[in-house]
Amino acid sequence: MDRKLIMEALSQVNDPELHRSLTSLNMIQDVVIEGNDVTVTVALTTKGCPMKTTIVRSVEEKLQSLPGIGKVKVNLTEMTAKQKLSLFGSKPTSPIADPNGKTQVIAVASGKGGVGKSTVTVNLAAALKQLGLDIGILDCDIYGFSVPRMLGVENVKPNAVEGRIMPVPAYGMKVISMGNFVSDNSPVIWRGPMLGKVLQQFLTDVYWGEPDVLLLDLPPGTGDMALDVARMIPKSNLLVVTTPEKLAAGVASRAAQMADKTNQRILGVVENMSAFVCPCCGEQTAIFGTDGGKELAEQLNVPLLGQIPLTLEARSFGDQGRPIALADESVTAAAFRTLAQKVAEILRITIAAKQ
């Protein structure tokens, strides 16, 4: 056994909350090798860390998979105040809002309510995750949050470590929503200016790390929250969701005016609830009409990035807290996968253009 081999193996074990390797977090305090037996000392962020058994088990499993290894012992200790400070920083900053940070931000918006912003947000997120990207979801709908329910984490309360809020894990993604802080769906009754403060806190007090993509589920309309997002995350892009019926007058111009005002880039349009796909025979019926997405994309001079069919499974999966995008055989999942591919391509182009 040599130390390099052990450290290499430990670099593949992640802290379940911080989503970074134990080695990059400097959590491996000591490695003692006696013959083939190994004792590792892991420094936890806090002694009462609720994840400590998971960490111990992951370390044991990883090391025991090394050929020729003898006994593995894991000791736990706590980080020093200095270590914690270097890990979490003294002043919370948001790498997400940093214009030079690697995180690409997509705010999912629409001219009106109920068109499927939240559905598109969680499913696009899940499909991007499936492409191998590290994903965060910030539910900006403070009053009307629906992300936790759609991801089956409505009863999960976020943990706090050293004053930083840990995002709730869901399907390998990091999620934060007002819904994870209030009990039993009790209504949130704050006034407008409070909303900006909540967003600020969600950006700075939450330990996001640096996901590849952060998706924001905006509340309906072009209100205060959308402006706050643009102000606090100037690099955020907009993805506009619409339904296929003939455009309500002014929807496109409102979206365009808003992007103009905030200087945000519109990545493209997603048409949701396109033709209804019959679950029995697959026949398609254009219940809400056709071409709404195409028309909006043309008016905004941006690409139509996807058409998501209206299906029973989209709604029932959402109700069960599972993203339909992760289902194997499903027309809806296929549509979300195509959308994710296109969004990933566009974002890579942006990355390439910046370099």
Q: Note the residues at the interface with Mg ion (CB under 5 A).
A: 117-118, 146
Q: Which of 119, 237, 242, 307 binds ligand ATP (CB under 6 A)?
A: 119
Q: Tokens for 18, please give them.
A: 């911080």
Smallest distance, Å, CB 306 to ligand ATP?
Answer: 11
Pick the stretch among 127-135, 192-200, 280-288, 305-313 that binds ligand ATP (CB under 6 A).
305-313
Smallest distance, Å, CB 226 to Mg ion?
Answer: 13
User: Binding pattern to ligand ATP, positions 253-272, x when CB under 6 A?
Assistant: -------------------x
Measured from the CB atom, the residue of 118 and 272 that comes closer to Mg ion is 118
Label residues 58-93 b or e (16+ Cβ within 10 Å = b): bbeebbeeeeebeebebebeebeeebbeebbeeeee
Q: Does 118 bind ligand ATP (CB under 6 A)?
A: yes
Smallest distance, Å, CB 235 to ligand ATP?
Answer: 23
CA gap 153, 169 in Å, rounded: 8
- The sheet with strand 72-78 has its strands ordered as 28-34, 37-44, 72-78
Question: 63 contacts which partner out of ligand ATP, Mg ion, none, CB within 5 to 8 A by kind?
Answer: none
Label residues 41-57 b or e (16+ Cβ within 10 Å = b): ebbbbeeebebbeebbe
Smallest distance, Å, CB 318 to ligand ATP?
Answer: 4
User: Binding pattern to ligand ATP, positions 306-335, x when CB under 6 A?
Assistant: --x-xx--xx--x-----------------
Pick the stretch among 165-173, 200-208, 224-232, 304-312 that binds ligand ATP (CB under 6 A).
304-312
β-pairing verdict for 284-285 and 265-277? antiparallel
Q: Does 141 bind ligand ATP (CB under 6 A)?
A: yes
CA gap 305, 349 in Å, rounded: 15
Q: Does 115 bind ligand ATP (CB under 6 A)?
A: yes
Q: Does 113 bind ligand ATP (CB under 6 A)?
A: yes
Q: DSSP letter string over 273-326?
A: EEEEEPTTT--EE-TT-S-HHHHHHHHHTS-EEEEEEE-HHHHHHHHHT--GGG
Q: Which of 45, 103, 146, 264 binds ligand ATP (CB under 6 A)?
A: 146
Q: Tokens for 267, please give them.
A: 């990545």
Q: Give which of 207, 211, 222 is closest to 140, Cα–Cα.
A: 222
Give the H or E element holding residue 351. helix 331-354
Q: Does 117 bind ligand ATP (CB under 6 A)?
A: yes
CA gap 133, 322 in Å, rounded: 19
Q: Does 337 bind ligand ATP (CB under 6 A)?
A: no
- Name the residue with tokens 């008016």: 299
- For the segment 181-220, give every residue that binds ligand ATP (CB under 6 A): 220
Q: Give which of 177, 198, 159, 201 is closest to 45, Cα–Cα.
A: 159
CA gap 274, 178 in Å, rounded: 30
Q: Does 279 bind ligand ATP (CB under 6 A)?
A: no
Rg of the chain over CA atoms, in angstroms? Answer: 22
Measured from the CB atom, the residue of 62 and 117 that comes closer to Mg ion is 117
Measured from the CB atom, the residue of 18 and 216 that comes closer to Mg ion is 216
Measured from the CB atom, the residue of 105 and 108 that comes closer to ligand ATP is 108
Smallest distance, Å, CB 150 to Mg ion?
Answer: 9
Q: Does 230 bind ligand ATP (CB under 6 A)?
A: no
Q: Tokens for 343, please give them.
A: 């969004």
Measured from the CB atom, the residue of 315 and 342 that comes closer to ligand ATP is 315
Measured from the CB atom, the residue of 237 and 272 that comes closer to ligand ATP is 272
- Name residues whose C-beta falls within 8 Å of residue 150's C-beta, 6 or more positions apart in sequence: 118, 119, 122, 318, 321, 323
Q: Which of 95, 144, 196, 209 binds ligand ATP (CB under 6 A)?
A: 144
Binding residues for ligand ATP (CB under 6 A) = 110, 113-119, 141, 144, 146, 220, 272-273, 308, 310-311, 314-315, 318
